[in-house]
Amino acid sequence: MRIMGLDFGSKTVGVAVSDALLVTAQGIETIQRKSPGKLRQTLARIKELAEGCQVEKIVLGFPKNMNNTEGKRCQETLEFKEMLEKRCSIPVILWDERLTTVAAEQSLMESGVPRENRKEYVDTVAAVLILQGYLDSLAFARENNLEGQS
């Protein structure tokens, strides 16, 4: 089983996928969107990647405001989630993505990626951070269940 992570934006969608053991997330692609209102090609590409990677679940970044309220981007993400579930027939989980783009920028900066090249990678790195956060939460839950049974 593999899990896909998505960082959904108005111009791009960062894509990451887990390893088969659900331990690590790897960035695989940034999908360029033609226009904010048109998603058919974006959904088709995500479905193609999901099938190719044998994905059984998708984790979609949910862009809440810092004060925990939901704005316009959250509504657009919820609509995208519905379309994604219909198109791919894969369950989609929303995951709080606050500050992932900031963390992705910081990571790229620390890695020495020149400023002019960061835009090319930031959404994929953000997808990795979203997915890795989810994978870490699964590992934490597994560890706590095992400790409770000892």
Domain with residue 16: its CATH number is 3.30.420.140
In this prediction, residues 4-14 reach a mean pLDDT of 92
- Residue 94's pLDDT band (cuts 50, 70, 90): very high
Q: Where are the beta strands (DSSP E) in 33-108?
A: 55-62, 92-96
Total domains in the chain come to 1
Which one, of 96, 75, 90, lies nearest residue 10 by Cα? Answer: 75
- Residue 81's pLDDT band (cuts 50, 70, 90): very high
Q: Which domain holds residue 113?
A: 2-149
The pLDDT of residue 7: 93
- What pTM was computed for the model? 0.84
Cα separation, 140 vs 116, whole angstroms: 37
